[in-house]
Amino acid sequence: MKVVIVLYTAGKHAEDESRLYGCTENALGIKEELEKAGHTVVVTADKEGSNSEFEKNLPDADIVITTPFHPAYLTKERLQKAKKLKLVVVAGVGSDHIDLDYINQNKLDISVLEVTGSNVVSVAEHVVMTILILVRNFVPAHEQIMAGEWDVAGIAKDSFDIENKTIATIGAGRIGYRVLERLVPFNPKELLYYDYQALPAEAEKKVGARRVTDLKELVAQADIVTINCPLHAGSKGLINKELLKHFKKGSWLVNTARGAICVAADVAEAVENGTLRGYGGDVWFPQPAPKDHPWRKFHNQYGAGNAMVPHYSGTVIDAQVRYANGTKAIVESFLSGKFDYRPQDIILLNGQYKTKAYGDDKKV
Amino acid sequence: MKVVIVLYTAGKHAEDESRLYGCTENALGIKEELEKAGHTVVVTADKEGSNSEFEKNLPDADIVITTPFHPAYLTKERLQKAKKLKLVVVAGVGSDHIDLDYINQNKLDISVLEVTGSNVVSVAEHVVMTILILVRNFVPAHEQIMAGEWDVAGIAKDSFDIENKTIATIGAGRIGYRVLERLVPFNPKELLYYDYQALPAEAEKKVGARRVTDLKELVAQADIVTINCPLHAGSKGLINKELLKHFKKGSWLVNTARGAICVAADVAEAVENGTLRGYGGDVWFPQPAPKDHPWRKFHNQYGAGNAMVPHYSGTVIDAQVRYANGTKAIVESFLSGKFDYRPQDIILLNGQYKTKAYGDDKKV
């Protein structure tokens, strides 16, 4: 078997931290074992364009392993070249960089698996952190200290508690629900959620959340909105100029789901013109984000309101340990011929959808 | 009556936000009313040295109103000059900038009141935010984006979840307990606390916290330590080179209590040498912090681990509304001659301690 693994290159960082599994140097901790068993393993960070190592190795690859942090995009064109491909493993969560509908509709015998749950806690923590950073106005406060300054009023005037605010999540699945759970003791005014299905009554009661079935009505009521849904045809560009008109003036938006759920220029403009007080998160399109991406530059009227970071919330060390172990288990299950995958990890099994989260008929 | 109010000057920030009550321009919303009632009101930000407006107006001041964010230090020498002083109101929480023991021991007829509770939620939120920022390594991640860079591995190698970490609070009072409450759904490995008195059994059970009565044993077990106790003779310099030797290597420390609880140089050195992975908070000594304060400069081996901000956690807009209202109520109660203060607001009543939180016999 030929296994092609696409990961970011960590250089000296891989030496600094041996648990940094998700990089080319440490190769999820599975390279040696696979080679010892007689398989060919190609590990590369070079993933863009037809001359990339990734694309050159696609035609005879049996297994492709990629991550959402440095995604090897599997487009229709690339899938047509990958004649031997049987298994795609996402070391992490989120398969939107793969044209799942193309595989499904053309009945390609390809299975796509994620390590479900490996990132949920990490991302939920990042969401709560980003809400606090934006609402409490951390970034300019820290910059002030580093610049040798001290101007409490300049920070305080744009700084608030999250207590007694209405907080809404778009998507109340594994991550969105964990965000709600973590927000409860902060005593929000109300927790709202929007999802294609209602939470079980018990789960809804536990966090005291109220479902709102109209997205415009949801954002119109919320002081803080957080996006926690998958990217698919139904959610691409969901947050655009039109929907932003319905947001509460001066609210905050956090997105750790996928960059393409937002129209980048529209969101940047919304912060610049005061529709939003701030925007933050770790997801971009494309990734790595180009130097001139609008999210690297926007600020509100006070030079604040930007809490962007590179895509790393689900790749902290604790998460790397989880998804390295999960990837190993999936690959071993495939190679053994047992295919005894964890059901929740399966996105496509031999081309067939095994999840409700993807597919071109999806709502959020 | 002559009322001297010491607040920071906000300049254009006061125009930007009318709810920014705690500045000289907005004067806690009480100046006009007091003047209309025939009182003399001096509002100033000038508080250092014998030529300051504050010190020049002290000899005939009946009431002094100050804040912890821009503290008008009431030292022994200044108290000796304040012959007419009857009431000191702290618009906020924390009276350590006043020589309470001197008032008490010399039987001065001065009452000191705080607006208890006005900052507790705000500070507890800031603590949880700072823990997340340090453990998840937010600051260098955001700096990377602003600098046009993208290096996920460089951030991820020093980034972790707070889930499954042991988190300890020094002080489990109004703020410390709220921190514990907010941490519960993050599923820490264990929550620990150190306090001169045990929590009520029910409160302890609610957050699942375990009391540790030896401070060295507490810090030796904790991945994350947060300081939530008052500053007094027993807590001044508590976190020093000697105690830092007992900290778990590579742990994180958060302090939103008072700067002087830490020996500044020792904490900075601990981050530089790897004893701590990071330190963050909003309290300094003195305030405003001088340009060369060591906490403006320290970093860990990766150029990260600094989450310092100016002292503003308890002066966000929501808190300003609370302490402006509270200050007004205390002053009105005094001027009416009813002295029907909220019991929890009284630190000294006519020179007598009415709280266990201060006094030179105190432990943490």
* pLDDT tens, residue by residue, B18-64: 999 999 999 999 999 999 999 999 999 999 999 999 999 999 999 99
Asked if residue A231 belongs to a known ligand binding site, the reply is yes
Asked if residue B246 belongs to a known ligand binding site, the reply is no
Catalytic residue, candidates B70, B78, B178, B258:
B258
What is the bridge-based pairing of β-strands A40-44 and A251-255?
A: unpaired
Rg (CA), chain A: 21
Residues of chain B with CATH 3.40.50.720: 2-116+315-361, 120-310
B317/A160 touch (CB, cutoff 8 Å), yes or no? yes
- pLDDT (0 to 100) of residue B42: 98
A152/B315 touch (CB, cutoff 8 Å), yes or no? yes
A305, pLDDT greater than 80: yes
Confidence (pTM): 0.93
Residue B362 banded pLDDT, cuts 50, 70, 90: low
* pLDDT tens, residue by residue, B254-278: 999 999 999 999 999 999 999 999 9
Average pLDDT of the residues of chain B: 96
Residue A70 contacts residue A6 (beta carbons within 8 Å): yes
Residue A358 banded pLDDT, cuts 50, 70, 90: confident
A254, pLDDT greater than 70: yes
Residue B355 banded pLDDT, cuts 50, 70, 90: confident
* pLDDT tens, residue by residue, B163-222: 999 999 999 999 999 999 999 999 999 999 999 999 999 999 999 999 999 999 999 999
Handedness of CA A139, A140, A141, A144 (dihedral sign): positive
CB-based burial, B343-355: b 16+ in 10 Å, e otherwise: eebbbbbebebbb
- pLDDT (0 to 100) of residue A267: 98
Query: Is B258 a catalytic site residue?
Result: yes
Residue B14 contacts residue B317 (beta carbons within 8 Å): no
Average pLDDT of the residues of chain A: 96
As a whole number of angstroms, the distance between CA B149 and CA B128 comes to: 28
B242, pLDDT greater than 90: yes
Select from B159, B162, B309 the Cβ nearest to the Cβ of A138: B309
Average pLDDT over residues B127-150: 98
B357, pLDDT greater than 90: no
As a whole number of angstroms, the distance between CA A230 and CA A116 comes to: 13
Q: Which residues of B touch A17 (CB under 8 A)?
A: 157-158
Asked if residue B140 belongs to a known ligand binding site, the reply is no
Select from A152, A302, A312 the Cβ nearest to the Cβ of B152: A312
Q: Which residues of B touch A295 (CB under 8 A)?
A: 145
Q: Percent of chain B beyond pLDDT 70?
A: 98
As a whole number of angstroms, the distance between CA A33 and CA A283 comes to: 32
Q: Which residues of A touch B256 (CB under 8 A)?
A: none
* pLDDT tens, residue by residue, A122-146: 999 999 999 999 999 999 999 999 9
Searching chain B, which residue's CA lies closest to the CA of residue A70?
Answer: B152
Average pLDDT over residues B275-284: 98
Question: B61: which 2 tokens?
Answer: 């001041």
Architecture of domain A2-116+315-361: 3-Layer(aba) Sandwich (3.40)
Q: Which residues of B touch A140 (CB under 8 A)?
A: none
ipTM of the complex: 0.92
- Beta carbon pairs, A and B, within 8 Å: 205
Select from B142, B182, B312 the Cβ nearest to the Cβ of A141: B312
As a whole number of angstroms, the distance between CA A51 and CA B96 comes to: 67
B91, pLDDT greater than 80: yes
As a whole number of angstroms, the distance between CA B354 and CA B360 comes to: 14
Asked if residue B195 belongs to a known ligand binding site, the reply is yes
Q: What is the CATH number of domain A120-310?
A: 3.40.50.720
As a whole number of angstroms, the distance between CA B305 and CA B160 comes to: 13
Residue A306 contacts residue A271 (beta carbons within 8 Å): yes
